[in-house]
Amino acid sequence: MTAGPALDPMLPRPYRIRRVHRETHDTFTFELAPAARGEGCSFAPGQFNMLYVFGMGEVPVSISGDTASSPSLHHTTRAVGTVTRAMQALKRGDTLGVRGPFGSSWPVDEAAGRDVIIIAGGIGLAPLRPALYHLLAQRKKYRRISLLYGARTPQDILYRHELEQWRGQFDLDVHVTVDRGSSEWNGNVGVVTKLIQRAPFDRSSAVALICGPEVMMRFTVMELQKHGLPLERTYLSLERNMKCAVGFCGHCQYGPLFICKDGPVFRGDRVAGLLGRAEI
Amino acid sequence: MIQTLEKIIAEHPFFHDLPPHNLQLIAGCAKNVRFEAGQVVFHEGDEADQFYFIREGLVAVELMIPQRGFTTVQTVGEGEMLGWSWLLPPYRWHFGARALQPVRALVFDGKCLRTKCEEDHDLGYEILKRFTHIISERLDATRLQLLDLYGAHA
Amino acid sequence: MDLQVKDTVTFEREHFDQLLHALAGRGYQIIGPKVREGAIVYDHLGSATDLPVGWTDEQDGGKYRLKRRADEALFGYVVGPHSWKRYLHPPVQRLWQAQREKSGFRIVPETHLPPKYAFLGVRSCELHAIAIQDKVFLGGQYTDPIYNSRREDLFLVAVNCSQAGGTCFCVSMNTGPQAVAGFDLALTEVLQNARHYFVVEVGTQRGAALLSEVPHQRAAASETQAAARISAEASASMGRKMDTVDIRELLYRNSENSRWDQVASRCLTCANCTMVCPTCFCTTVEEVTDLTGEHAERWRKWDSCFTMDFSYLHGGSVRSTPKSRYRQWLTHKLAAWMDQFGSSGCVGCGRCITWCPVGIDITEEVRAIRESESAGAAAGTGEGKNDTNT
């Protein structure tokens, strides 16, 4: 995979919104295409872009689509602040600025030949989806693949249609749970860590990919350790506010780590000492 | 191949390291049971004289809320234990339970086991140790659920 | 004579303006120390008389005063509230503009054409600070084009300090007082009896070329000795010391030390320290639009980790207490910086001590943490005291 001509990481490139999918009441997925031909860029699963809304600002958003669909980009965003709320109001045909891709990626190559357990909490499923696509596209390279996904309520489940399709596959284990059920929900109710016991994996070689709120990741790591999976084979995707995404503005520092360039994907042993600490 | 109850019980981590005579006694209090999807396992407020080990299927632990109807607070699935109200007075269920899918389970005679525990404190301690562990895990899980971590302002 | 790198020559005070003239002749804008508003700051220089001639500074924790000297030294002071980063890493800088078009918008990049700078009067600690920022902005996967455009052609005339400032501790940080590398020319000012001259060490070929335009002569042994003595005196007169033994591990393992609460009770989170620190580099961005909404600009500005919203996740600040922010700054400066950039982030210039309104002294903070370990109070956890009342 080669990138296009040398792209300045400091300058946003205009991308047009080709499609908008409202996933839930506050979460939406954009399909973006470069406004200028030849300005697309390939990416690795787990990386993110800085998305710019004209006159409002930029936010880091993980790429949530298939690497194979490059130069098209998919981004799943939740409207929680000024910029993301402005983004939510954009429509098909509108333009966004894109800088990136930035950051480290999921170890999809290193996981070859192993069981892979993917654990997602809330919108954490978005940065993990490209990894799942990659694993499924080269299914034979991997052993058992499990997807464990915890959402807030049944109405907050992302990629519902795809999840149902994945659940139907024989070579993929999918378990979904919600923190709070509803009268129509007959599935699991409870935290996603409880699903870990349902995903059998070879503790001597399996790899876990985890993304979600920090507390959820912390407890998930602990639960995995109880099941014999060491930190060296556990990967997390962390987040912090970012201004530059290239390691210059200093905002995303987490201990000595820059989330934008040392992460956002980290191997468990690198961040274990920082995870539970207050105000780091 | 039909496994004896004792064997099934012994395989489960919950019953690990139980002295054999305790295992036999507990197996003696156990029976296979089935529930259809939608069937009530127990009602909130009923006398709690049993507990269950879910072998297959999914059970919803639920509460009746007037405006909302029956609301599932947690689900208990394959390989999990259901019910500890039989251990503590007044021995009544605090929540209801309903099978969401067809359920195969082992049901244990809690009333009988209670009496045995009073007589044999060693047995009582073994049982309590194990149930305390379950209660602790459920509490952790509940706390995490309460945090609403996936909420907009987690 | 034909000057070479490492040559040492001298020139007289009366020829100092020739140096400035030669720099201006090569198109350099000369930036150097000047007295302004009661402090010595870095500003544009025209001639030698623009320098703080006959001035010195008295510095201590939370204190800075200028005083007149008995002589007419050009460089008889140390460092003030400015550092060279304001010219290499400007406090306010436009990054690009965006113009709305019928179909979306267009980005207009900024062409960075800064003036050619010559810094006159760079102290050894500052040379180290520049090298540290070089590492930050030029030494990683990405390079900052703004910093690069200003750094590329930079001409550096260093000055060896003749006295230690009240808050200086470059000796313990191994960053001075004598400049050893990273300069085009390094001057030591000597005022001996009636004679006022400069001993110059040539650092680069272009330094040599420039100096050849200034009337000079080879330095005599007595002259180089005079310069050496001056540096030695400056070395010996350091008022402060930072114990850097194991400092990285010390700070990493003391993140819960009660000393942080103590310093937090004094710290105003005013961010002065980060503004004056020559290595602090954090910035933020600001989106600016015009009234029509057709035109937007992105500006970069200096920022400080002491601000409440410096580090946040949606839902709130990650470092909401002043204690956590002070701890972040100091731990980053003295420990995490090593993991990130391979050296300490501190050059011992003492500015943070001088310009802290409450006089917090980082050498003292480190000492207190170190001492608390030997006193066995490192844990700082909620250990209850024995209650003798029953």
User: What's the pLDDT tens digit per position in A66-94?
Assistant: 999 989 999 999 999 999 999 999 999 99
* Residue numbers of C between 63 and 122 with CB closer than 8 Å to A: 95-96, 98, 100, 103-107, 109
Considering the domain architecture, whether residues A128 and A180 belong to the same structural domain is answered as yes
Considering the domain architecture, whether residues C227 and C257 belong to the same structural domain is answered as no
B64: phi > 0 → left, psi -120 to 50 → alpha, else beta; which? beta
| Residue C387 maps to a domain | no
| Residue A259 maps to a domain | no
Distance from CA of C324 to the nearest CA of B (A): 21
Average pLDDT of C62-86? Answer: 98
Q: In this complex, do C303 and A256 lie within 8 Å of one another by their Cβ atoms?
A: no
For residue B101, what pLDDT is reported? Answer: 95
C201 or C377, which is more confident: C201
Q: In this complex, do A213 and B71 lie within 8 Å of one another by their Cβ atoms?
A: no
Distance from CA of C169 to the nearest CA of A (A): 25
How far apart CA B54 and CA A214 sit, in angstroms, is: 31
| Residue A180 maps to a domain | yes
* pTM for the model: 0.90
Alpha helices in chain C (DSSP H): 16-25, 85-88, 124-138, 145-151, 170-173, 205-211, 221-236, 247-253, 259-264, 272-276, 322-331, 337-341, 351-354, 362-374
* Residue numbers of C between 253 and 272 with CB closer than 8 Å to A: 255
- Identify the H or E element spanning C355: none
A184 or A143, which is more confident: A143
Interface chains of chain A (3 or more CB pairs under 8 Å) = B, C
Closest CA to A251 of A242, A264, A260: A242
* pLDDT, tens only, B112-121: 999 999 999 9
Considering the domain architecture, whether residues C321 and C213 belong to the same structural domain is answered as no
Record the tokens describing residue C318, joined without a space: 């990650």
Domain range for B79: 5-146
Confidence of residue A5 (pLDDT cuts 50, 70, 90): very low
CATH for A81: 2.40.30.10
Nearest CB among A8, A97, A250 relative to C282 is that of A250
In which order are the strands placed within the sheet that holds A13-22?
A: A57-62, A48-53, A95-102, A13-22, A27-34, A73-78
For residue B151, what pLDDT is reported? Answer: 87
Chain B contact set for A187 (CB, 8 A): 58, 75, 100
Number of compact structural domains in chain C: 2
CATH for B63: 2.60.120.10
List the single best residue of C97, C103, C327 to mutate versus A (max A Cβ within 10 A): C103
Mean pLDDT, all residues of chain C: 94
Using CB atoms within 10 Å of the CB of residue C163, give its burial: 0 to 12 exposed, 13 to 18 middle, 19+ buried.
Answer: middle
DSSP B47: B
Chain C contact set for B152 (CB, 8 A): 314
Mean pLDDT, all residues of chain B: 89
Using CB atoms within 10 Å of the CB of residue B17, give its burial: 0 to 12 exposed, 13 to 18 middle, 19+ buried.
Answer: exposed
Chain C contact set for B153 (CB, 8 A): 314-316
Checking if the pLDDT of B14 tops 60, the result is yes
For chain B, the straight-line distance linking the first and the last C-alpha, in angstroms and rounded, comes to 50
How far apart CA A27 and CA A156 sit, in angstroms, is: 8
Considering the domain architecture, whether residues A223 and A131 belong to the same structural domain is answered as yes
Nearest CB among A80, A152, A219 relative to B148 is that of A152
Considering the domain architecture, whether residues C288 and C160 belong to the same structural domain is answered as no
In chain A, what percentage of residues exceed pLDDT 70? 98
ipTM attached to this prediction = 0.93
Distance from CA of B151 to the nearest CA of C (A): 10
| Residue C382 maps to a domain | no
Using CB atoms within 10 Å of the CB of residue C39, give its burial: 0 to 12 exposed, 13 to 18 middle, 19+ buried.
Answer: middle
Q: What is the CA radius of gyration of chain A?
A: 18
Average pLDDT of C22-44? Answer: 97
How far apart CA B14 and CA B137 sit, in angstroms, is: 13
Considering the domain architecture, whether residues C152 and C26 belong to the same structural domain is answered as yes
Checking if the pLDDT of A125 tops 50, the result is yes
| Residue A37 maps to a domain | yes
Q: Is B143 on the interface with A (CB under 8 A)?
A: no
Buried b (16+ CB within 10 A) or exposed e, C97-107: ebebeeebbeb
| Residue B65 maps to a domain | yes
| Residue C52 maps to a domain | yes
Confidence of residue A59 (pLDDT cuts 50, 70, 90): very high
Considering the domain architecture, whether residues C301 and C231 belong to the same structural domain is answered as no
Considering the domain architecture, whether residues A124 and A169 belong to the same structural domain is answered as yes
Closest CA to A184 of B138, B60, B104, B54: B60
Are the C-beta atoms of B93 and B64 separated by less than 8 Å?
Answer: no
Residue B142 vs residues A68, B148, C223: alpha-carbon distances, Å = 40, 10, 79
| Residue C105 maps to a domain | yes
Q: Which of A209, A229, A249 is the last residue before a domain boundary?
A: A229
For residue A257, what pLDDT is reported? Answer: 98
Record the tokens describing residue C215, joined without a space: 């009337």
| Residue B128 maps to a domain | yes
Checking if the pLDDT of B17 tops 60, the result is yes
Number of compact structural domains in chain B: 1
For residue A241, what pLDDT is reported? Answer: 94
Considering the domain architecture, whether residues C226 and C256 belong to the same structural domain is answered as no
Residue C304 C-alpha from the chain's centroid: 15
Nearest CB among A193, A212, A215 relative to B147 is that of A215
| Residue A279 maps to a domain | no
Buried b (16+ CB within 10 A) or exposed e, B80-105: bbbbbbbbeeeebbebbbbbbbebeb
Considering the domain architecture, whether residues C49 and C146 belong to the same structural domain is answered as yes
* pLDDT, tens only, C307-332: 998 998 877 889 999 999 999 999 99
Chain A residue with minimum CA distance to C305? A251
Distance from CA of B118 to the nearest CA of A (A): 33
Chain C residue with minimum CA distance to A15? C104
Average pLDDT of C204-211? Answer: 97
Considering the domain architecture, whether residues A50 and A76 belong to the same structural domain is answered as yes
Number of compact structural domains in chain A: 2
Chain A contact set for C341 (CB, 8 A): none
Confidence of residue A1 (pLDDT cuts 50, 70, 90): very low
How far apart CA A37 and CA B119 sit, in angstroms, is: 82
CATH for A195: 3.40.50.80
Distance from CA of A39 to the nearest CA of B (A): 34
Considering the domain architecture, whether residues A28 and A54 belong to the same structural domain is answered as yes
* pLDDT, tens only, A96-122: 999 999 999 999 999 999 999 999 999
For residue A110, what pLDDT is reported? Answer: 96
Closest CA to C158 of C129, C197, C191, C127: C127
Domain range for C152: 8-236
Q: Is B134 on the interface with A (CB under 8 A)?
A: no
Q: In this complex, do C141 and A261 lie within 8 Å of one another by their Cβ atoms?
A: yes
Domain range for A93: 13-102
For residue B152, what pLDDT is reported? Answer: 77
Considering the domain architecture, whether residues A141 and A98 belong to the same structural domain is answered as no
Are the C-beta atoms of C223 and C190 separated by less than 8 Å?
Answer: yes
Q: Is A256 on the interface with C (CB under 8 A)?
A: yes
| Residue B153 maps to a domain | no
Considering the domain architecture, whether residues A151 and A181 belong to the same structural domain is answered as yes
Q: Is B78 on the interface with A (CB under 8 A)?
A: yes
Considering the domain architecture, whether residues C121 and C176 belong to the same structural domain is answered as yes
Confidence of residue C383 (pLDDT cuts 50, 70, 90): very low
Chain B contact set for A183 (CB, 8 A): 68-71
* pLDDT, tens only, C223-240: 999 999 999 999 999 989
Q: In this complex, do C285 and A12 lie within 8 Å of one another by their Cβ atoms?
A: no
Q: In this complex, do A190 and B74 lie within 8 Å of one another by their Cβ atoms?
A: yes
**At CA A46, angle to CA B141 and CA A215, rounded to 5?**
20
Chain B residue with minimum CA distance to A218? B144
| Residue B125 maps to a domain | yes
Interface chains of chain C (3 or more CB pairs under 8 Å) = A, B
Record the tokens describing residue C123, joined without a space: 């102290």
For residue C2, what pLDDT is reported? Answer: 86
DSSP β-ladder status, B96-99 and B103-109: unpaired
Q: In this complex, do B150 and A150 lie within 8 Å of one another by their Cβ atoms?
A: yes
Q: In this complex, do C335 and A250 lie within 8 Å of one another by their Cβ atoms?
A: no
Average pLDDT of C250-277? Answer: 97
| Residue B78 maps to a domain | yes
Q: In this complex, do B144 and A197 lie within 8 Å of one another by their Cβ atoms?
A: no
Distance from CA of B148 to the nearest CA of C (A): 12
Considering the domain architecture, whether residues C327 and C232 belong to the same structural domain is answered as no
